[in-house]
Structure 1
Amino acid sequence: MNKKGISTLVLSSLFASVLMVGATDANALTEKKVLKNENGEIHTISGDLGTLRGATAQDRALDALNKVKVDYGIKDVSKEFKVKESHKGELSTSHTKFNRQLNGIPVFGDQLIVHEDNGRLTGVTGKYKALTPTATQATISKTDAEQKAVAKTGFTGLLSVPSNGVLTYFPSGDKAILTYKVNVCYLATDQPGDWTIFVNATDGSIVESYNSAADIVGTGTGVFNDTKKINTVKKGTQYYLEDRTKAMYVNGSTISTYTFNHGSLSQTYVTDADNNFNGEEQKAAVDAHFYAGKVYDFYKNVMGRNSYDNQGATIISGVHYSTGYNNAFWSSSMGQMVYGDGDGTEMVSLSGALDVIGHELTHAVTEYTSGLIYKNQSGALNESWSDALGVAIENKNWLVGEDIWTPAVDGDALRYMDTPSLGKQPEKMSQYVVTTKDNGGVHTNSGIPNKAFYLFATSLGSRVDAAKVWYAASRDYMTQTTDFSGARAATLLACQDLYGQGSTQYTALQAAWTAVEVN
């Protein structure tokens, strides 16, 4: 949002979260980079990592894992990894996914992906942790495990499909628990079940279980009194704003929404007894929860990204922050979104607008892709990329934050991407504002790349198609210190990957940047 306070918060969070090892200079494109999460776990290795040997993509991918096994701490690639699938990407790239196994038994949720460009290794993504198996053989039968799984659900009728148990290692800390992974499905009932249950293969205890079908039953009333269907979970006698229906839940991650209760130090669950979240204090939470799901779906379905870190991280929202707080922000330190209620004059509850939530969660995506430093031109790009993805996710108009901005004034907005000058922003480089305020004018000068995005998207006839180029540029070609000229080059490289250098899209993108005097 366009407040100085939030600029400081986002800047500090971006600095705190940079975990990339290796060069960040845009000219050092071939240097090996090792990226880690907040727990120090490697999730990405990238760079020009050498020539791969092998006649097929699968053979070359195995060679690739051997090249990085020391980084990950893998002892024996051939014993621990099995090819799941390989596919071609843009141009000459290919991507091969491996499932992990121990003693020939799959490890739940553990995968590595090898990225190759015409015989050269360009990267490996995924996490790896040394695990000690609790057992190598089951001591209870598959049938016993299936019976225990069905008993866990409490269902006594006819299953929609027969339950089926498969030996699977379930990661827990540094242990790999030998389990039967059992699916139990019954749909012809008022409370359907589509369970995944992990039964300890040596003692029959339940290690983990979840029911995806039981999570799609809630309703709620939003900030503007509209009714929404929301994904919830029942725990005891109460329903919680916890969405377990997304692909991220394969790793146990959820979309969860809390409330600060108009304070700033602690949060509590948002709960309801009848699964109809329609109380006045629940409205902001309903919108935050619903729209976070929409943003997740956009990134997953359109961009192929699994949550903001692409590793399926839990998305947490906290509403009712402080009193009359005119802002929303992504906190890297807390790993969550924070929403104020607004003062009722300048703003209303900031969780009530999809483009705002898309904007803020894109700050999280940027943190894990380009990591643009929140100052001067790179900071203005950080803001602009969030505006661009926000309007693409909402896919409605070129106004940013119009739903929550100055409720007494019709038709105005926080920013105007088609005409930035309406929001007192420059539209081309000759109007660039040199200032020390707002971290070098990040909310002011973002109008220039915003206008470039608008021109490009309108020439394509699609905000979403333009956003694909913007996202790929941030993911693949932009560094922490990319400036406006670098952003032009990065988006053109991404556009070339997606459409080709001789395409009409590429020509339109060149024209868009030239129109705003960025060369």
Structure 2
Amino acid sequence: MNKKLIATLVLSTVVTSSFALSAQAASDKHVYKNEKGKVHTVSGKLGKASGSTPEARALSALDKVNADFGFDKAQGKFKAKDTHLDENGTTHTKLDHTVNGLRVFGEQMIVHEANGDVQGVTGTYSALTPTATQAKLDAKQAIDKAVAHTGYTGELDQAATSELLYVPQGDVAVLAYLVNVTYKSDQPGRWQIFVNATDGSIVQALNTIENATGTGTGVLGDSKSINTTLKSGKYYLEDQSKPMFATGGVIRTRDYKGWQFSFLQSDMTDADNVWDTANQRAGVDAHYYAGVVYDYYLNQLGRNSYDNAGHTLLSGVHYGSKYNNAFWDGTQMSYGDGDGTTFINFAGGLDVIAHELTHAVTEKTSNLTYSNQSGALNESWSDAMASVIEGKNWLIGEDIYTPNIAGDSLRSMADPTLNGNPDNMSNYVNTTSDNGGVHTNSGIPNKAFYNFATAIGSRTIAGKVWYTASRDYMTASTDFSGARSATIQAAAALYGTSSDVYNAVVNAWTAVGVN
């Protein structure tokens, strides 16, 4: 929700060629760099990759671009994470950069190949010198230090987890434990904390909870039809009608009743399946809108729930006391009631729910790191999909924000400057607050999405390009320049390089100063 403009930093982008692929010879190779000169994409007809498996072919393909990214041989430096075959028959294989067999946080490569023909490589590689090869702390010690760093002394909502890996710090790779700490309180936390595995110091800490903020009656007084389940004479806010139910997934909505712990939630029930009491309104909206978001991702994008495996969508309403926020904590959605002045109940906005559940989708696709440019893209992708799914305007949060002030919103995608956010790289905000300005600088890619969608006259097509880019062409460390390349590649894959869609996405990013 950060709406303050703090400082500006003018950035330029360095590329070795444009994305006008149709004007180039088929054998040309195109190398793309960000404003700091770091390669993030190599595309073109790169030759044949050998191997009987996607992983083997991906390693072979990486050896064809090793000089561009700055490594010698792929074997021993990369390990396949997952493989996806898209609708056009292109295989996208994600590989983690590894050092001494351990993954390097945030550094991935994606190889795009069709029947062995290498079409491109996307990602990030840094030549790093490891600080150590053996940990002196064990996992429990690292978890204890991470929890202490948060300052939280209550019971954790989920058991903390840890992973030994390397985290880039300049030109070195620090051996560290990545510890995930999640809890609910007045200031809920979903922390990624890197604990130095040799001396126990905190290398980096990110709180990735984004501060955003029958028949039933919703928060705004409107009536809705909702799918419920009858059990032992009571109706429950549990929707078993979606395709996810075939694998055990449901849409379920529960009530915190002012508490802040998941285990204190209780089921929302009703005797006659008419959900019209004041306390039920938030539950009605959370339940109904979760179904709208699920249906959109399934019917328009072919994605079955946030993980594409039909996982249950769980929501909890009435979180805390007058809590001014809504958030995804890695397992469920939680909605505060708002204080009645700055916000009303957060479940009352379809775009709010679509925004938060898209964070869950992003976590399972590109997994954009929640800081700096990748964090701003994380926020922006949620805003973009929220504007697509709601479809009524280019405002974010207008239904639940400042109920006594008409016409305002948390963010405007058409004009980010209305909320103090930049709409061009010439006004990029260089700051250490808000995880590096993730909400503020999201205005730049937001404006690019608005430019794109309005130019082609279709939010649906624009959303498909953005989703495909996140799924197939973006990694955890993708920056603005990399996002431009990713969306252009997605447009090319879906609609071809001579299409109006392709040209529109190129122009959309150029107009906001991202080249």
Give the Cα–Cα distance (whole angstroms) in 1 for the partners of residues 471 and 271 of structure 2: 42
Give the Cα–Cα distance (whole angstroms) in 2 for the partners of residues 414 and 379 of structure 1: 18
Give the Cα–Cα distance (whole angstroms) in 2 for the partners of residues 226 and 288 of structure 1: 13
Match of 2:384 in 1: 388
Alignment of 1:94-493 (within 5 A): 117-118=114-115, 218-265=214-261, 266-332=264-330, 335-493=331-489
Give the Cα–Cα distance (whole angstroms) in 1 for the partners of residues 276 and 396 of structure 2: 27
Give the Cα–Cα distance (whole angstroms) in 1 for the partners of residues 292 and 271 of structure 2: 25
**CA shift at 1:402, angstroms?**
0.4
Alignment partner of 1:515 is 2:508: no
**CA shift at 1:435, angstroms?**
0.6
Give the Cα–Cα distance (whole angstroms) in 1 for the partners of residues 245 and 2 of structure 2: 34
Q: Partner of 2:230: helix, strand, or coil?
A: strand
Give the Cα–Cα distance (whole angstroms) in 1 for the partners of residues 500 and 350 of structure 2: 31
Q: 1:516 to 1:405 in 2, by over 3 A?
A: same
| Aligned-residue identity in percent | 59
Q: Please say if residues 417 and 451 of structure 1, whose CA atoms lie closer than 8 Å, have aligned partners that are also in contact.
A: yes
Q: Partner of 1:518: helix, strand, or coil?
A: coil
Q: Partner of 1:302: helix, strand, or coil?
A: helix
Give the Cα–Cα distance (whole angstroms) in 2 for the partners of residues 419 and 28 of structure 1: 33
Give the Cα–Cα distance (whole angstroms) in 1 for the partners of residues 56 and 314 of structure 2: 32
For structure 1, the residue ranges without an aligned partner over 5 or more in a row are: 5-24, 31-44, 52-70, 73-86, 96-114, 123-217
**CA shift at 1:503, angstroms?**
1.3
Give the Cα–Cα distance (whole angstroms) in 2 for the partners of residues 50 and 428 of structure 1: 37
**CA shift at 1:89, angstroms?**
2.5
Q: Please say if residues 3 and 440 of structure 2, whose CA atoms lie closer than 8 Å, have aligned partners that are also in contact.
A: no
Cα deviation code 1:327-380 (max 9, x no counterpart) = 000011xx0000001000000000001011000000000000000000000000
Alignment partner of 1:506 is 2:502: yes
Cα deviation code 1:142-183 (max 9, x no counterpart) = xxxxxxxxxxxxxxxxxxxxxxxxxxxxxxxxxxxxxxxxxx
Give the Cα–Cα distance (whole angstroms) in 2 for the partners of residues 327 and 437 of structure 1: 18
Q: Which amino acid aligns with 1:467?
A: G
**CA shift at 1:120, angstroms?**
6.6
**CA shift at 1:88, angstroms?**
8.6
Give the Cα–Cα distance (whole angstroms) in 2 for the partners of residues 221 and 46 of structure 1: 51
**CA shift at 1:255, angstroms?**
0.4
Q: Considering Cα pairs closer than 8 Å and 6+ residues apart, tell me whether 1 or 2 has the greater RCO.
A: 2
Q: Which amino acid aligns with 1:450?
A: N
Q: Please say if residues 216 and 281 of structure 2, whose CA atoms lie closer than 8 Å, have aligned partners that are also in contact.
A: yes
Match of 2:22 in 1: none
- Between the two proteins, the alignment pairs up a number of residues equal to 336
For structure 2, the residue ranges without an aligned partner over 5 or more in a row are: 5-38, 47-53, 61-79, 93-111, 120-213
Q: Partner of 1:404: helix, strand, or coil?
A: coil
Q: 1:48 to 1:312 in 2, by over 3 A?
A: farther
Q: TM-score, normalised by structure 2?
A: 0.62
Aligned-residue CA RMSD (Å): 2.7
Q: Please say if residues 257 and 270 of structure 1, whose CA atoms lie closer than 8 Å, have aligned partners that are also in contact.
A: yes
Give the Cα–Cα distance (whole angstroms) in 1 for the partners of residues 484 and 404 of structure 2: 38
Q: 1:88 to 1:468 in 2, by over 3 A?
A: closer
Q: Please say if residues 3 and 327 of structure 1, whose CA atoms lie closer than 8 Å, have aligned partners that are also in contact.
A: no
Cα deviation code 1:76-125 (max 9, x no counterpart) = xxxxxxxxxxx9932x5489xxxxxxxxxxxxxxxxxxx98235799xxx
Q: Please say if residues 488 and 506 of structure 2, whose CA atoms lie closer than 8 Å, have aligned partners that are also in contact.
A: yes
Q: Please say if residues 50 and 120 of structure 1, whose CA atoms lie closer than 8 Å, have aligned partners that are also in contact.
A: no
Q: Please say if residues 237 and 268 of structure 2, whose CA atoms lie closer than 8 Å, have aligned partners that are also in contact.
A: yes
**CA shift at 1:261, angstroms?**
0.2
Give the Cα–Cα distance (whole angstroms) in 2 for the partners of residues 351 and 311 of structure 1: 25
